[in-house]
Amino acid sequence: MTFVVYLDTSITPVALPDIVGDVGGGGTAAQWILDAYTLAFACLLLTGGVLGDRLGARRVLLTGTVVFTIASIICAVAPSIGVLVAARALQGVAAAALVPLSVAALSTHIRQPRARARAIGLWGGTAGVALAVGPLLGGLLVTALSWRALFWINIPICLLGWWCLRAALQPGRTASDRRMDVPGQVLFVAAGCGATLALIEGPHRGWSSPFILGCAAVAVIAIAAFTFWENRTATPLLPQGLLRIPQVAVACSINFLGLFGLYGVLFVLTLYFQRDLGLSPLNTGLRFLPLFGMLGIASLLAASVARRLGTRPTMLTGLFLIGTGLVGLVTIDFSAPPAVYLVALGLLGAGIPLSGGVVAVAAMANAVPATAMGAASGAMNTFRQFGAVFGVAVAALLSPPTQATAVTHLSATFLVAATGAALGAILTVRTLRPKPTATQPKTVSLSIHSATR
């Protein structure tokens, strides 16, 4: 199920012009087709793990698979942009349960540490491979059939996944009595939705319109209320003190910045390739092959590279590759032969897994107690998905479409993303010291342990 969750993040972008041309939706439709999925995914990730602890990973994984299947069917038959966006959001709700609990299931059912580490590495590689094959598979399906085939293909994968989960995971009683942080979750969703609505709809409705001002106000108030509530509740959505651990903060930041750049580039280049250069979805997928191909390869190798070089050098190498690729894209004329910019896209793809993902988890391992690693990983993945959400939204602001062309000012998106990579490198150098002090992790760990009891 991890494969299909991440497949749906990379298979859809190449079909955006075809989808919008068929179901309509106005100037922000393409953004919402991507962001409805990632926003729901991001907002509910933290609760997904807690839900599995209370109800049992097997039950929630099987239910999440069924929901993802139903949502995919609705996407495939959607008659309008509203139905499609709502179904994409429902896919994201299911994904928020599937991803954290798939890791939890591996940890629970594989007892031997070395075998567990290999399984988690394979899990990360599966996500990378799904991202890698998405654009090319999407281009093939749209060209041969239609954009609706992108969602029909999920059905056999989900049915196979449901059968495998049911056979592999045995029913068992849950031991956790941790309560759901319902107020915190509601405030978190309100903050994420308010900010995303304001960013996406602001250029079209006007930044001073009552709707946009209201969305911005909801986001600000919800963030303030969320912070206030989380510091006082006995069962916080985010354990107290978690983000104050430097290693956790830098892991979350790096994952946010990496996905911000990746999805910003993916969004603007998809529109540019198809609307400005007139490429087909298949040719668009082929031009993204170096990006996602290197992302898939690096995902499979990231854990072993980190073991050889260390987490800090590996993360800095990844950030250097991201920055180099993005700066290269700034200097390239995309009407030139494809070989000129394929190298830059490949560097960007290779840098994402080396700077984040399982490498960032390894960076947190020595600073976070075992009882809080699940929460730390959930927080990191939440930031990762929000990076994708805001990457699409901000890219549309920096490289807006006009009546005459699909996108303008491509270099603005690339430069901002490259600046983010540089900021991430500075944070990594300053935070992940080769010889951290022995007292700092212990002090903060006690705070988290007491908050998660």
Let me know whether 229 and 306 are in one domain.
Answer: no
- What per-residue confidence (pLDDT) applies to 178? 63
Let me know whether 221 and 250 are in one domain.
Answer: no
Let me know whether 371 and 440 are in one domain.
Answer: yes
- What per-residue confidence (pLDDT) applies to 68? 92
Q: Is the dihedral of CA 306, 309, 315, 318 positive or negative?
A: negative
> Which is more confident, 50 or 290?
290
Q: Quick check: 389 and 38 in contact, CB under 8 A?
A: yes
User: Which position has the token pair 């991890």?
Assistant: 2
Question: Is 211 a domain residue?
Answer: yes
Question: Is 121 a domain residue?
Answer: yes
Let me know whether 124 and 210 are in one domain.
Answer: no
Phi-psi region of 172 (alpha: psi -120 to 50; beta: other; left: phi over 0): beta
pLDDT score of 73 more than 90:
yes
- What per-residue confidence (pLDDT) applies to 405? 53
Let me know whether 212 and 331 are in one domain.
Answer: no
Count of structural domains within the chain: 3
pLDDT average, residue stretch 258-277: 84
SS3 228: helix
pLDDT score of 354 more than 70:
yes
- What per-residue confidence (pLDDT) applies to 444? 44
Q: Is the dihedral of CA 24, 28, 31, 33 positive or negative?
A: negative
| Range(s) of the domain holding residue 191 | 182-234
Residue 82 sits in a domain whose CATH number is 1.20.1250.20
pLDDT of 415-436, one tens digit each? 898 998 899 889 888 887 765 4
What is the rounded average pLDDT for all residues in the chain?
A: 80
pLDDT of 174-190, one tens digit each? 555 567 778 888 998 99
- What per-residue confidence (pLDDT) applies to 374? 65
Q: Quick check: 179 and 225 in contact, CB under 8 A?
A: no
Please tell me the least confidently modeled range out of 15-19, 212-216, 357-361, 382-386.
357-361
Let me know whether 203 and 286 are in one domain.
Answer: no
pLDDT score of 246 more than 90:
no
| Domain termination site, one of 143, 170, 197 | 170
Let me know whether 133 and 199 are in one domain.
Answer: no
| Domain termination site, one of 234, 255, 273 | 234
Question: Is 339 a domain residue?
Answer: yes
Question: Is 417 a domain residue?
Answer: yes
Please tell me the least confidently modeled range out of 35-44, 125-134, 227-236, 257-266.
125-134
Question: Is 406 a domain residue?
Answer: yes
Q: Which two tokens stand for residue 183?
A: 């107020």
Let me know whether 306 and 204 are in one domain.
Answer: no
Let me know whether 125 and 186 are in one domain.
Answer: no
pLDDT average, residue stretch 137-145: 86
Let me know whether 63 and 206 are in one domain.
Answer: no
Question: Is 177 a domain residue?
Answer: no
Question: Is 81 a domain residue?
Answer: yes
pLDDT of 306-315, one tens digit each? 888 888 888 8
- What per-residue confidence (pLDDT) applies to 125? 65
Please tell me the least confidently modeled range out of 222-226, 324-328, 330-334, 368-372.
368-372
Q: Quick check: 40 and 57 in contact, CB under 8 A?
A: no
Neighbours of 326 (CB within 10 A): 29
| Domain termination site, one of 126, 145, 170 | 170
Let me know whether 165 and 258 are in one domain.
Answer: no
- Give one DSSP letter per residue of 259-312, joined into a string: HHHHHHHHHHHHHIIIIIS---HHHHHHHTHHHHHHHHHHHHHHHHHHHHH-HH
Neighbours of 167 (CB within 10 A): 8
Let me know whether 201 and 313 are in one domain.
Answer: no
- What per-residue confidence (pLDDT) applies to 245? 83
pLDDT average, residue stretch 401-413: 68
Share of the chain above pLDDT 90, in %: 10
